Amino acid sequence: MGRLSNRSDLVSQSHGNNTPYASQRCTNLGVTGELAQLEERLLCKQEVRSSSLLFSIRYLRIANVHYQMFMKLFLDTAETSDIARLFTTGLVDGVTTNPTLIRKSGRDPEEVYAELKKLGVPDISMEVGGNWTEMLTEGKRLHGKFGDVATIKVPCTPDGLMACKYLSQDNISVNVTLVFSVAQAIMVAKAGAKYVSPFVGRCNDNSFSGVELVRAIAGTYNVHNVETQVLAASLRDVHHVSRCFLYGAKVVTVPPTVFEKMYNHVLTDSGLAIFEKDFSLIKSETTDI
């Protein structure tokens, strides 16, 4: 089964349905394992099934799952100067890279990864290539070197999904990229990927809506309680960022230029100009008094 947990599923967990499975799902999402284990021990004692303690444990566990699923913004670049500058905002949750972006930076890929890890970036997509055994071997090596910040990025091909399946079984996060259909996204979820990356911009370039693809994938995953998160990629404008989140993407990765434009709105600028003018008038009037 792939990855996900939607609101209705979380509600059923809070009523005690299939608790051992629910606990395993929480562990997969990185939720504190002690809470799930404590809940299971309490459930073995019939007299505490309705206790306030058990309810509190469930509440904390479910709340943590919701926190894990909160929408995230990644930067789609390998330019470490841009990443360092924008990461200090506290609004960046991760970084996606690919061979094209690495090549543009003129850097050795693993030097870039090491620098990003040192900055404190918690989720770094590191792309691998070759046949499935080569991707598997390289993915394990990168995870061994960089730890849990490493999300191994593979293409949506038979080889890529085979590598994804084995990496996921070893609890290594995988981002499956170059996805252009719901059928592909289904295969990605079956392979146990953490992320599926539909390429919104490239869809639009080929005369079909990338945001509609995001909506279709997210809708399909929600129907089947899939845990794989939709990571919308290849975005080129702020409008598509908003639509992707509206249509169910859990993560959106954007170039630094798009990230910085997300702050902007003409009405914010005009309103700020009025406020600053009034602030200066208040200060001058206060000084005169």
Report the run of H or E that residue 174 belongs to, with start and end.
Answer: strand 174-179
Over residues 17-25, mean pLDDT:
37
> Among the options 72, 153, 194, 250, which is catalytic?
153
Produce one character per residue of 110-149: b if its CB has 16 or more CB atoms within 10 Å, e if not. Answer: eebbebbbeeebebbbbbbeeebeebbebbbebbeebeeb
The pLDDT, as a whole number, for residue 104 is: 87
Residue 227 has pLDDT above 90, yes or no: yes
The Cα–Cα gap between 194 and 3 comes to 7
* % pLDDT > 70, the chain: 75
- In this structure, which amino acid lies at residue 14? S
Which tens digit of pLDDT belongs to each residue from 230-263?
Answer: 999 999 999 999 999 999 999 999 999 999 999 9
Residues 173, 148: contact at Cβ < 8 Å?
yes
Q: Where are the alpha helices (DSSP H) in the chain?
A: 7-14, 19-28, 33-43, 52-68, 80-87, 99-105, 109-119, 132-146, 158-169, 182-190, 200-205, 210-223, 238-246, 256-261, 266-288
SS3 49: coil
The Cα–Cα gap between 13 and 40 comes to 12
Catalytic (active site) residue 72: no
Which tens digit of pLDDT belongs to each residue from 85-113?
Answer: 999 999 999 999 988 899 888 999 999 99
Both tokens assigned to 67: 């926190």
| Residues in Cβ contact with 9 at an 8 Å cutoff, skipping those fewer than 6 apart | 225
Residues 230, 218: contact at Cβ < 8 Å?
yes
Residues 230, 184: contact at Cβ < 8 Å?
no
Which tens digit of pLDDT belongs to each residue from 27-86?
Answer: 334 444 555 566 566 555 554 455 566 566 555 555 554 445 579 999 999 999 999 999
What pTM, to 2 d.p., does this model score? 0.75
Highest mean pLDDT among 17-31, 56-70, 162-176: 162-176
Residues 9, 226: contact at Cβ < 8 Å?
no
Highest mean pLDDT among 34-43, 51-60, 115-124, 280-289: 115-124
Q: Which residues pair with 198 in a beta bridge?
A: 179
* % pLDDT > 90, the chain: 65
Domains of the chain, CATH where assigned:
7-67 (no CATH), 71-261 (3.20.20.70)
Residues 50, 16: contact at Cβ < 8 Å?
no
